[in-house]
Chains A and B, each alone.
Chain A
Amino acid sequence: MDRFVMNRRQALLGATAAAGALTMGGLSRAAFAADETVKVGVLHSLSGTMAISETTLKDVMLMLIDEQNKKGGVLGKKLEAVVVDPASNWPLFAEKARELISKDGAVATFGCWTSVSRKSVLPVFQELDSILFYPVQYEGEECQRNVFYTGAAPNQQAIPAVDYLMSGDGGNVKRWVLAGTDYVYPRTTNKILEAYLKLKGVASEDIMINYTPFGHSDWQTIVSDIKKFGSAGKKTAVVSTINGDANVPFYKELGNQGLKATDIPVVAFSVGEEELAGMDTKPLVGHLTAWNYFMSIDTPENKAFIDKWHAFTKKPTRTTNDPMEAHYIGFNAWVKAVEKAGTFKADPVIDALIGVSVPNLSGGYSTVMPNHHITKPVYIGEIQADGQMNTVWQTPGLVVAQEWSPYLEGSKDLIGDWRSPMSCGNFNVKTGKCGGAA
């Protein structure tokens, strides 16, 4: 019975999604006619499980493009957003990407959220030689010529968060729970963190690693395990790479079992203002998050951005979050690179993007590095009763991304540098050879 239901279900999901996508594609193609526009692809899920996070990114792209057009467009041409809906269906991401590039002629695409969706579109962007801007923090261990990673690599989020907790300010944490959802991002991040913690002298018995399925909702056992692990007389913290939907029941259980931030703080890498908007945050006050941007950051740039966002969405309560800032940086960097290259063609723009520096929303400048990642400040924030973060610590300057983690056996000798003559995403400094497609 179950097997039958499941198969049927998946088949149906595919069929319905494909049907929906067809209509969507038809609509968007009918919507433009003029020659003086240049198309920019927006590849974010507007239905299915990831819609919760990705819909906002579609909106922010529309806002950015709209704003650029008001300033006169790019190279004298108006930009036009081509929005497609890959419906949280990974293979469909690749199909939609192909459609965007070869049918609609999008010169650059802003999209994807989950790592698996990014991996699914990689071959398409390589084959058709186009540009993807990927705005979400991820596990690293990748450096592709056609992709610009505007989210954080592990050393721009996870490692500084652990450093903070180890410091006196963060409570001199000695015992660690690494809790995550069972897929590639938490697994890789936790592998890096485990290696890093051991390097810092943390014993194996002081690290507890726990994985849960997607959408896990019954956290009773795990929270009580964490409690038990934390009562061994050493200061304990939880590093959470728990994904989206499972967070609400997790935090609810923490609150119900009375696990306070002053006892065992939880630092989360996937919980932002957007996720907190659907939660009663009073029991969570003091738990931590690590990001490169908070809505609460007090700079004129950020204030202007939030005002524009509220005006654009006509909702004064909409939150902003880190991946939105990543798109803001990515889009502005792309505009600048296109102007620098004087063309929309992919190859010159890819070359021109390296070294481009644009303002971020926290009062500094983010620069696109030769490894196609950007420099970012890192902020640790405490969750407040109003669902906003209060910055308790930040890196003194900008952090350069380590796309290949120096703490993992397989990647510590690799570097990525897409400037000629190296032009390689995984150059091995020991053997002096480029690893080729990775």
Chain B
Amino acid sequence: MLMTFFKALATLLFLVAAACAVTSPARADAIDDALGHFAQDKFPETDKGIDSLSGSGAPTAAAVMDALANNRLLFDPGSKQIFYKDASDTLFDAKTGAKAEGVDASTLKKVRLNNAVRSKLQSVGGSMALLAPDPTKRLDAANAVFRSHDANQLAPVETALAKENDAAVKAALLQARAAILATKPDATADQRLDAIQVLKLRGDQDAQGLLTPLATVAPDDASMDKVRTAAKAALSAISMQLAIWQAVQNVWYGVSLGSVLLLAAIGLAITFGVMGIINMAHGEMVMIGAYTTFVVQQVIRTSMPGLFDASLIIAVPLAFLVSGAVGIAIERLVIRHLYGRPLETLLATWGISLILQQAVRTTFGANNKEVGAPSFMSGSFHLGGLEITSGRMWIIAFTICVFVALQLVLRATPFGLRMRAVTQNRRMASAMGISTGRIDALAFGLGSGIAGIAGVALSQIDNVSPNLGQSYIIDSFMVVVFGGVGNLWGTLVAALALGIANKFLEPLAGAVLAKIAVLVFIILFIQKRPRGLFALKGRSVEA
């Protein structure tokens, strides 16, 4: 492994040197030579082209590199001339940088990229950006060098270090230098010891990856004894730290999974938990919510693209209304006639779920639909050794909001009071002048509407397809039954407990066994406590 790496490195150095030597006499030749490589339509040639271009100092070099990275570098298969397009699709001659007139863009072919070329571009682009005026760009560039730890970048990093006065960028540059020195084959023992100190402080998986080869570096060389012991010590310190973070990470993943379970189950906690209706079409309400999000995004994309980041916020109330309306329609048309007959309700709602699935399939097609992520929900950030993906974080926050809002509706509004009254004692409530039929319909609508809201969130992490609901229905019932029927807090605790248990079991037993283990556990638990974690006490139990 190391040998091939050295060889590749040596060839690369040689090529750069050769390119420089050949191209130094005249600039015009240099750029011609560099561009000539791009017209070959072969990846190794493109690679060479990048090297000679970065060494040529040509005025168009940066623009050409940028175009290449964005798939906008073109060549004429006949004349071998190179052109590039800028972001607004205007065609330029790559050699002169002048606008290309009278060239038929449709005859041009794209200069293709592969991962090797892309890495090369990143690392070359990295060294160019190390001296950029914008500190965030410099930080990105330093991190890019850290990842590539290409020995060619050592000199630019040293230059940048000498000039740098931003503390964060400086730290990143020091780590980048350490990464290069840790992997550079001809680094001295002292350089390596320095690198080990810096990497030990960084203390993450990347540092671990860079240190591992150092622990066994050059076993015959006594001068490297110190390096090996230092690397071993640093490694054991890092792995201790990583193990602790791993546990924290598992809890976080568990909470995240739990929040998804809770979101999917919370609507069911009302229709099944509070009203006692076994609603097999619950998953389809979630699906309808997800499709509403899709439609909202479609409309925004075509008519007002500026609003895209707000698409989910717009979709939430709409999904609530659409799913809620469908829920109320189902309750009024079907379920109302079946109260007190759980078996028939189950069959009827199962039938409805199939009808809804096929209806969506016929309207939207069987394929998955793309629901994009708004910019604030993409990407991830680090919190210590914890990697937090923004999308998941927002879903957790969103789940908390939904839960709190629902509790407020049930506890603090007249509708909530009536609903609780009806579920606790229907006849008494009716005698007090509550229209039980209306309350039933609204409660079912509320449960369905919340399922629709869940669909908005789930569209961010799962497929938006007609089958979306099916994958959540079993889990939802599991959470509600485990938590205790009729108790929202029970649903919360159950969802989190199942999520975290699943995530701690998964690394040990694998995803398949973890899921089975959780199921078996719940079955055994229900044998012992048929009413779930938090059983409701009082008269309503008999109802």
Task: Point out residues on A near B: beta carbons under 8 Å.
Answer: 1-3, 5-6, 8-9, 12, 16, 46-47, 49, 51-52, 55, 168-172, 174, 182, 210-213, 215-218, 220-222, 224-225, 227-228, 231-234, 245, 248-249, 252-253, 255-258, 261-263, 265, 274-275, 277-280, 283, 286, 382, 384-385, 390, 392
Contacts and interface: CB of A to CB of B under 8 A. Distances in A.
B114 interface: yes
Contacts of A253: 389, 461
Contact of A221 (B379, B477, B506): B506
Interface stretch (B15-23, B159-167, B413-421, B462-470): B462-470
A115 B113 CA distance: 35
B373 A265 contact: no
B387 to A, nearest CB: 6
A228 B238 CA distance: 13
A210 B462 CA distance: 20
Question: Dominant SS at the B interface?
Answer: helix
A410 to B, nearest CB: 24
Nearest to A48: B467
Given A16-B351, A392-B114, A52 B370 contact: no
Contacts of B358: 47
B474 A2 contact: yes
B205 interface: yes
Contacts of A222: 506, 511
A215 B122 CA distance: 35
A218 B257 contact: yes
Interface of B: 1, 4, 8, 43, 71, 112-116, 118-119, 122, 147, 205-206, 208-210, 212-213, 249-250, 253, 256-257, 260, 278, 280, 346-347, 350-351, 354, 357-358, 361, 365-370, 372-373, 378-380, 387, 389-392, 460-467, 470-471, 474, 477-478, 481, 502-503, 506-507, 510-512, 515, 519, 522-523, 526
A259 B60 CA distance: 31
A245 B464 contact: no
B303 to A, nearest CB: 19
B379 A256 contact: yes
A8 B345 CA distance: 12
B380 A258 contact: yes
Given A52-B367, A169-B114, A232-B212, A221 B361 contact: no
Given A221-B250, A234-B1, A2 B115 contact: no
A265 B118 CA distance: 12
14 contacts: A16-B351, A46-B366, A171-B115, A211-B510, A234-B1, A245-B368, A252-B373, A252-B391, A253-B389, A256-B389, A262-B118, A279-B368, A286-B113, A286-B118
Contact of A1 (B122, B366, B477): B477
Contacts of B115: 170-171, 261-262, 265, 286, 382
Q: Which of A2, A224, A265 has the most CB of B within 10 A?
A: A2
B250 A245 contact: no
A1 B346 CA distance: 12
Nearest to A263: B147
Nearest to B249: A224
A2 B249 contact: no
B481 A1 contact: yes
B112 A392 contact: yes
Contact of A278 (B4, B8, B369): B369
A213 B511 contact: yes
Most B CB contacts (10 A, CB to CB) among A46, A252, A256 go to A256
A212 B460 CA distance: 20
Contacts of B209: 231-233
Contacts of B471: 215, 217, 245
B373 A231 contact: no
Top 8 A-B residue pairs of the complex, sorted by shortest distance between their CB atoms: A278-B368, A231-B209, A256-B389, A231-B205, A51-B366, A212-B511, A233-B209, A220-B253
A280 B346 contact: no
B523 A3 contact: yes
B309 to A, nearest CB: 14
Nearest to A234: B1
A217 B392 CA distance: 13
A221 B387 CA distance: 11
A63 to B, nearest CB: 17
Given A55-B366, A212-B512, 12 more contacts: A2-B481, A52-B367, A182-B512, A211-B510, A232-B209, A233-B209, A245-B463, A257-B380, A261-B118, A277-B367, A279-B370, A286-B115
A253 B511 CA distance: 16
Contacts of B510: 210-211
B293 to A, nearest CB: 14
A2 B519 contact: yes
B465 A262 contact: no
Contacts of B511: 210-213, 216, 221-222
A274 B367 contact: yes
Contacts of B461: 217-218, 249, 252-253
Contacts of B361: 47, 51
B212 A217 contact: no
Contacts of A168: 8
Contacts of B523: 2-3
B541 to A, nearest CB: 16
B472 to A, nearest CB: 9
Nearest to B372: A280
B6 to A, nearest CB: 13
